[in-house]
Each structure stands twice: as C-alpha cells, then as structure tokens.
Amino acid sequence: MTATLPKRALGPFSVSAIGLGCMNLSHGYQPRPEAEAAERLLLHALDRGVTFFDTAALYGFGANETLIGRALGHRRKDFVLASKCALGEINGKRGLDGSAAAITQTLDEALIRLRTDVIDLYYLHRLDPKVPMEESVGALSRAVEAGKIRTIGLSEVSAETIRAVHAIHPVTAVQTEYSPWTRNVELAVLDCCEELGIGFIAFSPLARGLLAGSVGTAGFQQGDLRAAMPRFQEPHLTRNLGLYDQMAGLARAADCTPAQLCLAWLLSKRDFVVPIPGTTNIDHLDEILDTLSLTISEVVFDQVDALFAFGAVSGPRYSKEAQSQIGTEIWEGEPLAS
C-alpha cells in the first residue's frame, strides 16, 4: 500500500513536501547503483509517498530518463514528473544549446525515454546566453500548447531573469541549489518566487552529501563531479568538514540526523520550498523522508543560520567554467574561482 506524505503546492500540482532528485542514480556522483537497485529505490520512494521525481536530459545523457521510464512508467499517474532541457549531450560531451530546434528535439526524445505523453514540469536547465531568451521560452510555450509539457520551469537564474521569463510565459517553479552552505537564493530569488506565486525546488539540499556525512577526506572516485568543485578540494574540504562536525552536534542535540536537520531547516524557510535530495540507498531515503514527521525548534534553525553565516563556508561553489553558466545572484565578497 502506498503511504502518504505531507504535501506542498507547486503551481497547479500538489506534491510531497520532499521530492527525489534522481541525478546520482545515473550521473554525477560515484559509485552508482546497478540498474536493478536503482529501480528498487525509485519504486520504494513512490511507495513511501514521494510524488515528485526530478530528472534531466543531461543525467547520463538520457540514461536517467530511461531509468525512470522503465521503473515508474507503469505508475505514471501516481507522481509529478519534472525534467530539463538545454544542457545535454553535444558531440559526446556536455554542452549548452537553448535553441528552439534543440529544445524541441530534446523534449521529443525525453518523452520516448520517459515512456510518457506529457512531462508535468519542464525546465530550462540553464539559460543559453547565445540564444535570445524569447526563442528558448517560446519553444517551451509551444510545447505547452502542443500538450507535450504542462508547465515550464527555470534553473539557476536570477530574480531579474525570472521576472522577464514570467512576463513571456508563466513560470511554475525555479530550481536552484539551496542548503545551509549555499544560500544565494536568499538574496532575491525566494522573495521573487513568493511575489509571483512560483514554487521553489531546492537541489543539493544536503550540500552534495557533505552535510549528510557521506563525504570524507579520502577524496572521490574517478568520474565524480565533486572532485572538480573547489569546496571539496583542500584546504577547503577540511575546513568544511569542520562545519559538518558542528552541524552534527546541533543535530544530536535536536535528536535527529544532520541530513534531517538540513531538510527541516529548508522546509522552515518558505512554505513553497520543496527539497529534492538524492540518494542511492533505501535506508538513507527512509531517513530523509522521516524528516517530515519531526518537530524541531526554531532555536535550532537559528543556530544553523548562525553556523552557516556568510563567509563560514570555505571555497568557491563552482569552477570558473561551471560558474559561467550560473545566473543566480552572488553575495558581495563571495569567493569565485579564477
């Protein structure tokens, strides 16, 4: 029997207050699970009451969408499906193409891989600076008219961009990294979303695993994208693991795990925030979802705020190349890779 979790509104959709980010089942982090294990985890999430699953054409260059279609396609009516375009495979490598032709082709291929006639929420994974915004958004708008997608979203953009796109076509959700150690959206994006009635999806809500206790000083396996991120390189990594130790202390005092404290903190920020943690482990998934049954004091959340005040985290968020595709506002004095 399928369980029920607390819900949050996401435009026209009502989704579980915590969704599932599916990237690391096929892409980004190492090690990755075998296909059968990944399918079991997806089905377990659905049975536990998760009704929001997030993927992208980029993840495994289509492999993640194929996985979701294979594992969950027969229960398509039971969940809200989100995917993304513009970032994907170009000549065998990661590339950015926000042209109307590329978006249309990516969407048509995604529908086949996902074994569905319609995607509920379809994001521009990144805004392509080489393509007029009106062209990219226009392609998504026409896809809505054609019944291929229900709503559109944006990822890693500024409040100014959100307003500009929303004026062309209503935006249902904005997705950006948000956790205690990455709080850029508090500068303007969250206020903008609240004003316009747009939902907010928090990706990497556990600081890419560091605030869940899954990152140590030994480094990463080959192919793990975190190895190229400055915050996971020395001397920054050791300093940031010190923050995790303090976060773990706050969690022990609150009788929860660090991952649960991260998610509860996020859920307390705004009632339209939906975190989408990822995991390859069913026990960890259960731990994550059990957050929704916890009661944690605002005093503890204030302690998390203080621990992760601006300047506490060591190192730039992204490499110079990756940062060049990010439109989200930056803090005055925020370290950027050179």
Q: Which residues pair with 203 in a beta bridge?
A: 177
The strand pairing partners of 151, in sequence order, are: 121
Interior/surface letters 164-190, b for 16+ CB within 10 angstroms, e for the rest: ebbeebebbbbbbbbbbbbbbbbeebb
Catalytic residue chosen out of the listed positions 59, 122, 123, 178: 59
Contact present, 290 and 260 (Cβ < 8 Å): yes
Any idea how long the chain is? 338
Strand partners, 119: 149
* In the chain, beta strands by DSSP E: 7-10, 13-16, 20-21, 52-54, 80-85, 87-90, 93-96, 119-124, 149-155, 171-177, 199-203, 273-275
Concerning whether 178 is annotated as a catalytic residue, the answer is no
* Catalytic residue set: 59
